[in-house]
Structures are given as structure tokens and as C-alpha cells.
Amino acid sequence: MHSAIPEKLFFKIGEVGEIVGVKPHVLRYWESEFEFLRPRKTSSGHRIYRRSDVELLLKIHELVHKEGYTIAGARKKLSEEKEEKKTQETNGPPREELLERIKFLEKNRREVLEEIRDQIKDLLSLLDE
């Protein structure tokens, strides 16, 4: 059973073990199996985990202990999710969203142009007076 992540920037291995619900040796093993899990180390060699590390460890725990993935399967799933996220960031928003943005900008542009036209008419009428 794991608990909520406290509002801290860095965590010691014992704290992370409590949060995730595993022993420190399991965290060290996962670190050797998941190349993208690399906590920083202090000058004395103690691991310091960031919040993103803890979130990743919670995801690994969920995949392995709740969803029944093997370590290799969890590694593959996380790599696929990471690649999918990168692809989405590269490709940008979906076509439908882009079309909605274009519609909004066209409508907004027309309104602005109409407002400018009305202001020009008002200025011209002032000049005629």
C-alpha cells in the first residue's frame, strides 16, 4: 500500500520505499532495470529522489504489482508511453482542435476588422462635419 507524495522536492530512499510500498532493495533493483530511472546521488553516495522519480516508481509499482506486468513488460509499456507522448508533442494538437482554433481566429479577425471599419467611418464622419 502506498501513500500520497508529500510536498517536498527531494526524498531519501527510505521515504520513497514507504510512499511506493516496497523495500529499498526493490527500488535499487528497479533502478538497474529501468534506464530512465536515475536518482541523483549525494557526495556520500546516498540516493536522492525527485518527485518525478517517485511518480515513475508509483507507476512501475502499479504496472508490476497491480496490473501483472513483468519487469520487461513494464519497461516496454513505459517506453511506449514515453514515445507516444513525444510523438504527440512533436505532431501538435489533433486536426479537429486545429480546425476549431482556425474558426475562432477567423471569427475574431472578422469582428476586429468590422470594429476598425466602424471606427474609420466614425472618423470620416467627424472630418465631414
pTM (whole model) above 0.75: no
What tens digit of pLDDT does each residue of 21-39 get?
Answer: 999 999 999 999 999 899 9
- Rounded mean pLDDT of the chain? 89
The domain defined by 1-92 carries CATH number 1.10.1660.10: yes
Tell me: pLDDT of 3 over 70.
no
Q: How many whole angstroms separate alpha carbon 96 and alpha carbon 110? A: 21
Q: Would you kindly state where each structural domain of the chain is located, as residue ranges? A: 1-92, 93-129
The pLDDT assigned to 54 comes to 96
